Structure 1
Amino acid sequence: MNATDRTPADLLRSALAADPGRPLITFYDDATGERVELSVATFANWVAKTANLLQDDLAAQPGDRLALLLPAHWQTAVWLLACSSVGVVADVGGDPAGADLVVSGPDSLDAARACSGERVALALRPLGGRFPQAPEGFADYAVEVPSQGDRFAPYAPVDPDEPALAVGGAVVGELTGAELVERARADAGALGLAPGSRLLSGLSYDTWEGLSSGLYAPLAAGGSVVLCRHLDQLADDGLAKRVEDERVTATAK
């Protein structure tokens, strides 16, 4: 990645310029058997559409706080990068009552209703499927995002020195875009990641370690992540086979 990259959105733009066709996220849900692989280009397209939804339809502005109530999932990664693209603070597991808007999975809808702003719900079904019936009071992400534009340009420049991510309470607290990129690069070095590396992560997204291993560090290194949800439901010999099949070079679980 470029030394001048100072936000996660910058890292994604550099990855897109370098090799748009390479895998970026390979997602497994071992409770459902789902496997999805997204190239840099495909992932960036989802991010652009989601950022347009965030900026235009949801009227989000730089500095707004978004409570992100989603598990480790490829669509969560999309929302994290979309927030960075707009300049919105992604508050992972944050209090919806104190947020300007909320993005929720199917298991946290009741908590998400505490948000007085815009509410978006994700069914987290295979292939990004929609809810059979949208939850009352929420926009269904799978319904709203396909029609959004494939290119994104922020209305206001994103300041890398403004807060970009909140996670882990007092342990990490808030990170600016520049601090996030610096930490991700340091983590990539500690994990031995380099361009082309494949990191398998079974960690949740509710800590910095999980977010870094499951997205930011591989992105900063020019590598990719094999993101596994419900890894504990994999058969005893399944992990070794996955490591081999996916050509994994490092693990975090």
Structure 2
Amino acid sequence: MNATDRTPADLLRSALAADPARPLVTFYDDATGERVELSVATFANWVAKTANYLQGDLAAAPGDRLALLLPAHWQTAVWLLACSSVGVVAEVDGDPAAADLVVSGPDRLAEARACSGERVALALRPLGGRFPQPPADFADYAVEVPGQGDRFAPFVPVDPGAPALTVGGEELTGTGIGERALADAAAEEMPQEPRVLSGLSYDTWRGLSYGLYAPLATGGSVVLCRHLDRLGAEGTLAREATERITFKAPSALS
């Protein structure tokens, strides 16, 4: 983390400048067998496109609140960084009825319809695939985002001291996210540039820290696993070896 990095979006820009080719997010869904690996450059491109969509087509502005109804997934990580880029407050498992806009996975669409603002649905299919049949009253993320611009610049500078994230009833600023992620890494004695294995969900700060923010803040990468429990102890150990894991999130300890 450089001295000038204050928000998650700043951290991503620094990672892109340092080594765009290195892996940043590797995602497994052990219920389907899916594996996706995104380099810093590829992840940053998805973030830029999503931020352009958020700021442009969805007309989101700094301070707006976005209910994020998604599991631990590489596309969720993209949305979290896109919100940081625009200055939108990402409310993980937030109340759609109280939010300015909502982003939902396929299993929470009924809940998401309580939002009176813009609604975006993610199919969460392999390789970012679209819905076979678009859900009524929602924009399909996989249809809308690919054509967005590859570079992003906010219309309004993002205030690093403004609210940026709410999770588990706690609100953090953009600066607070990076500072707390670094504190977590230090407290857990993560190695330099860690390769982190996390099977934690994204509905707690701990899950977000180990599964995204701490690896990003320390120049590392994350192997984010959904349904990791299906592997069992031997399967998890095999993944640690295959992915060259140097740090395991607490729930992933064997």
Same fold (TM over 0.5): yes
Whether contact under 8 Å (1:193, 1:223) holds in the other structure is: no
Give the match for residue 14 of structure 2. Answer: 14
- Within a 5 Å distance, the mapping from 1:127-138 to structure 2 comes to 127-138=127-138
- Partner Cα separation in structure 2 for residue 236 and residue 227 of structure 1: 17
1:202 corresponds in structure 2 to 199
Number of the residue aligned with 1:56 = 56
Can you give the 5+ residue segments of structure 2 that lack an aligned partner in the other structure?
none
Counterparts of 1:220 and 1:70, CA distance in 2: 22
Percent identity of equivalent pairs: 79
3-state SS in 1 of match to 2:56: helix
Q: Partners of 1:135 and 1:31 in 2: how far apart? A: 23
Write out aligned runs for 1:1-253 (5 A).
Answer: 1-169=1-169, 173-252=170-249, 253=251
CA contact (8 A) 2:193 2:215 kept: no
When the two structures are aligned, how many residues end up with a matched partner? Answer: 250
Measure the CA separation in 1 of the matches of 2:98 and 2:56: 22
State the secondary structure of the residue aligned to 2:225.
Answer: strand
Q: Deviations over 1:140-168 (max 9, x none)?
A: 00000000000000000000000000000
Say if 2:66 and 2:102, in contact at 8 Å, map to a contact too: yes
TM-score by length of 2: 0.97
> TM-score, normalised to structure 1's length?
0.97
Alpha carbon RMSD of aligned pairs, Å? 0.8
Q: Distance in 2 between matches of 1:64 and 1:203?
A: 27
1:48-89: per-residue Cα shift (whole Å, max 9, x none)? Answer: 000000000000000000000000000000000000000000
- The list of structure 1 runs, each at least 4 consecutive aligned residues, that deviate by more than 3 angstroms after superposition, is none
The one-letter code sitting in structure 2 at the alignment partner of 1:181 is G
Q: Within 1, Cα distance between the matches of 2:242 and 2:39?
A: 17
- CA drift of 1:194 comes to 4.2
CA distance in 1, matches of 2:245, 2:187: 16
1:51 partner SS: helix
> Contact 1:48–1:149 (CA<8 Å) still a contact in 2?
yes
- How far off its partner does 1:237 sit? 1.4
* 1:23 partner letter: P
Uncovered stretches (5+) of structure 1, i.e. residues with no partner: none
Post-superposition shift, 1:236? 4.0
SS in 2 for 1:240: helix
